[in-house]
Amino acid sequence: MNDYNSATETTPTPLTLGDKTFRSRLLVGTGKYSDAETMNNALEASGCEVVTVAIRRVDLKSGDNLLSQLDRNRYFLLPNTAGCFNAEDAIRVCHLSRELGLGDWVKLEVLGDKKTLLPDPVGTLEACRELVSEGFKVLVYSSDDPVLALRLQDAGATSVMPAGSPIGSGQGILNTNNLSIILEQLDVPVIIDAGVGTASDVTIAMELGAEGVLLNTGIAGAKDPVAMAHGMRHALDAGWFAARAGRIAKRRYAQASSPTEGVLGE
């Protein structure tokens, strides 16, 4: 993790995924915002460059949606396959994404069921293999299973993105043990995706050694999304620096910070 010079660097280094470099390690979703102004202000406050988007049927009654007011020149749009429960549907969405002009980068999600929204490991792996063979750059939503994470890396994923906790649950980072194993084992960048409820969750993910964090509801669902976006941005920086600083060991008992010699009265 000695990838920066603490004497000169005051912000985290850029995020490298595949052949691309992004200025921010925070990837932010564009769903669930009440209005376009809040969405745009929150995205700006977060400092993000990569934003996730979804692909849906055109609403035949209302037409344009919030996203038409996103400044597309400022952001890298990463289409997801949210709502797909098998590999075939996810691959279909990726093909439509290409036709929409969104390029070859996709956030692959193949979900197991509607209640947990946990990934279907078999369908996810199957879709990942196929999409990679078709030239897609696959950032793949995964469970926190270290074995699956390795398999997805072997399948050619550009990034493996294990969930901190279920999508939209706000439970934060539940299984730090498994995530640590994934981070230790994988060579491709690992991004913690899903479950972030508040800023400290982002810090924990980065302290574990994640390359980045992807979140949506934690910002969009906060009472003040713009304030939370600021918080998330700083939390990410805090965790990134802490991860490189080499934290102190935990001890059972206290260890005085001030000199123990020369104390008055001895």
Partner 1 sequence: MSSENIHEGGIGSNSMELIEIQLNGEVHQIEKTASVLDLVNSMPLESAAVAVERNRAIVPKSQHGDTLLQPGDHIEIVTIVGGG
- Catalytic residue numbers read 107
- The whole-angstrom separation of Cα 171 and Cα 194 is 9
Tell whether residue 77 is a contact of partner 1 (CB under 8 A).
yes
Q: In this structure, are residues 31 and 22 in contact, taking their beta carbons and an 8 Å threshold?
A: no
Tell whether residue 68 is a contact of partner 1 (CB under 8 A).
yes
Tell whether residue 80 is a contact of partner 1 (CB under 8 A).
yes
Tell whether residue 67 is a contact of partner 1 (CB under 8 A).
yes
Tell whether residue 167 is a contact of partner 1 (CB under 8 A).
yes
Q: In this structure, are residues 90 and 109 in contact, taking their beta carbons and an 8 Å threshold?
A: yes
- The whole-angstrom separation of Cα 68 and Cα 173 is 33
From candidates 42, 82, 149, 235, binder to partner 1 by CB under 8 A: 82
Tell whether residue 111 is a contact of partner 1 (CB under 8 A).
no
Tell whether residue 118 is a contact of partner 1 (CB under 8 A).
no
Q: Which is nearer to partner 1, 41 or 180 (CB)?
A: 41
Phi/psi at 114 (5° precision):
-75, -20
- Which residue pairs from 116-125 have beta carbons closer than 8 angstroms and sit at least 24 positions apart in sequence? 116/166, 117/166, 117/167, 117/168, 118/143, 118/163, 118/166, 119/143, 119/163, 120/85, 120/86, 121/145, 121/148, 123/85, 123/86, 123/87, 123/90, 124/87, 124/148, 124/152, 125/151, 125/152, 125/155
Write down the least CB distance from residue 6 to partner 1, Å: 34
Write down the least CB distance from residue 223 to partner 1, Å: 18
Q: What is the sign of the dihedral through the CA atoms of 88, 93, 97 and 99? A: positive
Tell whether residue 8 is a contact of partner 1 (CB under 8 A).
no
- The whole-angstrom separation of Cα 83 and Cα 80 is 9
Tell whether residue 242 is a contact of partner 1 (CB under 8 A).
no
Write down the least CB distance from residue 260 to partner 1, Å: 52
User: Which residue type is seen at 7?
Assistant: A
Q: Which is nearer to partner 1, 83 or 209 (CB)?
A: 83
Tell whether residue 191 is a contact of partner 1 (CB under 8 A).
no
Tell whether residue 61 is a contact of partner 1 (CB under 8 A).
yes
Q: Which is nearer to partner 1, 68 or 258 (CB)?
A: 68
Angle at 259 between CA 253 and CA 262, to 5 degrees: 125
Tell whether residue 52 is a contact of partner 1 (CB under 8 A).
yes
Write down the least CB distance from residue 198 to partner 1, Å: 16
Binders in 214-233 for partner 1, by CB under 8 A: 215-217, 220
Give the single-character DSSP code of 69. Answer: G
Which two structure tokens, joined as six digits, stand for 224? Answer: 């003040």
Residues in contact with partner 1 by the rule CB under 8 A: 29-33, 39, 52-58, 60-68, 77, 79-80, 82, 92, 95-97, 99-102, 167-168, 215-217, 220
